[in-house]
Chains A and B, each alone.
Chain A
Amino acid sequence: MQHLGVGIGWRPEIDTVVEGLDGVEWVEVVAENICPDHLPDSVRRLRERGTTVVPHGVSLGLGGAERPDPVRLAALAERARALGAPLVTEHIAFVRAGGPLTGTPALEAGHLLPVPHTRDALDVLCENVMIAQDALPVPLALENIAALLRWPDEELSEGEFLAELVERTGVGLLVDVANLHTNHVNRGTDPASTLDRLPLEAIVYVHVAGGVERDGVWHDTHAHPVSEPVLEVLAGLCSRLCPPGVLLERDDDFPPGTELAAELDAVRGTLTGTRREVRHV
């Protein structure tokens, strides 16, 4: 798997901050927020410096019941080409429902919702992934999402579901360690047991992000600093196999560049096993 190194999510609100951070080897952009004909100046400058840019989609809904929309797939493919990206990433999630298969109005979630870990959902997801792979010019990798709720009557664990998805489709994995922590708090899924089941060689990179616990529920806000339990899941992964890349996600309540730099240092320390306890902010 291609080495990516340590990166950060590029967002318009922190564009020049990202450009000024030392040691950022790559960035991810939200695919739907990028116009391939008019790349933001900041993204263009990063590209000219040789920084790898990976488009990260949020609207395909590959875990939905419908086949993926060819127009959305073509848009993602176009962004991958415009950015010269080595791969594209999306989520294992459904984002809309209703419509022709149900005889009800189409509904948009406006967010990523968990797919049930059932045979039906896995069969549909695998076919959708293969349709997407055929439409994309570069390899696809999929991210495990954070869930507030769990489906009843699931037939597979998260680890089994992901392992079989990879085995049947050859899709890459983007492992979000913050989401593993989220699912630990919210659904009682032990991150270690999920990691034990995963085909680790399929991991293309890892997401790290901050969240907050309220009333026993972990909210994966991407608006708080990365906390110790999330870095512990990353350390647990690294003790098995060091991932080819790690990316820090921050989507709101943007701190100064110095704080983002400190979080990136904590990530690097975790990767090399030299991290000290992070201070609690």
Chain B
Amino acid sequence: MSDSAGRTPAVGVEGARQRLALAQTALLSALVASTPVPGGFDPARIRVQTVALAAKRADIVAKVAPELPVILGADYRPAFVRYARSRPLPGGYRRDALAFVASLLDDQGGPAQPPGRREELASWWAERSGPAPLRAARASRVLRRLNPRTTLRATRGRAGRTPA
């Protein structure tokens, strides 16, 4: 039976939708939320795909929050992949960047941070977690690190808030 465009609509697709939903959710959950690998999949390939998804996320977060690879240096990528392994994308990459930094600030048992980095991350988080845009003083500091000759006339920012 064809429709007016000569196509063949499927019958009884609701059951197929439900079964497919459960199968795809089990796989995606294993890939982005560290739930057990569903039966029949090659666990080694699941690991490769998990890392590939986290690496792509790290690339995009580095584009929307270019200060983070500057603050974290060579630690940026491994730290992000560690964060992303069990934390699904929280609805947008800016929120992802905030959640990543909050996780670093919360992570008491994680790798030791070099002196001053924690404060830099806390300041970065505080300046972006509210509705107001980046304060000029902070923008200036970050830009100077990216390019030491850059100067930006700036006023001091408001007091930061602490991560929730």
Query: Chain A residues in contact with chain B, CB under 8 A?
Result: 64-66, 94, 96-99, 101-102, 104-105, 107-111, 113, 115-116, 119-121, 123-124, 126-127, 130, 133, 148-153, 167-170, 186, 217, 219, 252
Chain A residue at minimum C-beta to C-beta distance from B60: A110
Query: Are B13 and A123 interface neighbours, CB within 8 A?
Result: yes
A120 and B16 in contact, given A107-B33, A149-B45 (Cβ under 8 angstroms) = yes
Query: Are A97 and B16 interface neighbours, CB within 8 A?
Result: no
Among A121, A124, A152, A170, contact of B7 (Cβ-Cβ < 8 Å): A170
A101 and B57 in contact, given A133-B5, A148-B45 (Cβ under 8 angstroms) = no
Interface membership of chain B positions 41-56, coded 1 if the CB is closer than 8 angstroms to chain A and 0 otherwise: 1100110110011001
7 A-B interface contacts by CB (under 8 A): A66-B17, A102-B21, A126-B10, A127-B13, A148-B48, A152-B41, A186-B45
Measured between beta carbons, the chain A residues less than 8 angstroms from B6 are: 170
Query: Are B25 and A98 interface neighbours, CB within 8 A?
Result: yes
Query: Are A94 and B24 interface neighbours, CB within 8 A?
Result: yes
Query: Are B18 and A65 interface neighbours, CB within 8 A?
Result: yes
Query: Are A113 and B9 interface neighbours, CB within 8 A?
Result: no
Query: Chain B residues in contact with chain A, CB under 8 A?
Result: 3, 5-10, 13, 16-25, 27-29, 31-33, 39-42, 45-46, 48-49, 52-53, 56-57, 59-60, 88-89, 91
Measured between beta carbons, the chain B residues less than 8 angstroms from A108 are: 32, 88-89, 91
Query: Are A107 and B32 interface neighbours, CB within 8 A?
Result: yes
A120 and B19 in contact, given A104-B25, A107-B88, A149-B45 (Cβ under 8 angstroms) = yes
Query: Are A120 and B20 interface neighbours, CB within 8 A?
Result: yes
Query: Are A110 and B28 interface neighbours, CB within 8 A?
Result: no
Chain B residue at minimum C-beta to C-beta distance from A95: B28
Shortest distance between the CB of A121 and any CB in chain B (Å) = 6
Complex Cα–Cα for A58 and B143 (A): 33
Among B8, B28, B89, B91, contact of A97 (Cβ-Cβ < 8 Å): B28
Chain A residue at minimum C-beta to C-beta distance from B5: A170
Complex Cα–Cα for A65 and B22 (A): 9
Query: Are A65 and B28 interface neighbours, CB within 8 A?
Result: no
Measured between beta carbons, the chain B residues less than 8 angstroms from A150 are: 42, 45
Query: Are B49 and A149 interface neighbours, CB within 8 A?
Result: yes
Query: Are B21 and A97 interface neighbours, CB within 8 A?
Result: yes
Chain B residue at minimum C-beta to C-beta distance from A123: B10
A107 and B20 in contact, given A123-B10, A152-B39, A170-B5 (Cβ under 8 angstroms) = no
Query: Are B28 and A148 interface neighbours, CB within 8 A?
Result: no
Query: Are B29 and A124 interface neighbours, CB within 8 A?
Result: no
Complex Cα–Cα for A100 and B46 (A): 25
Shortest distance between the CB of B52 and any CB in chain A (Å) = 6
Query: Are B31 and A109 interface neighbours, CB within 8 A?
Result: yes
Query: Are B56 and A65 interface neighbours, CB within 8 A?
Result: no
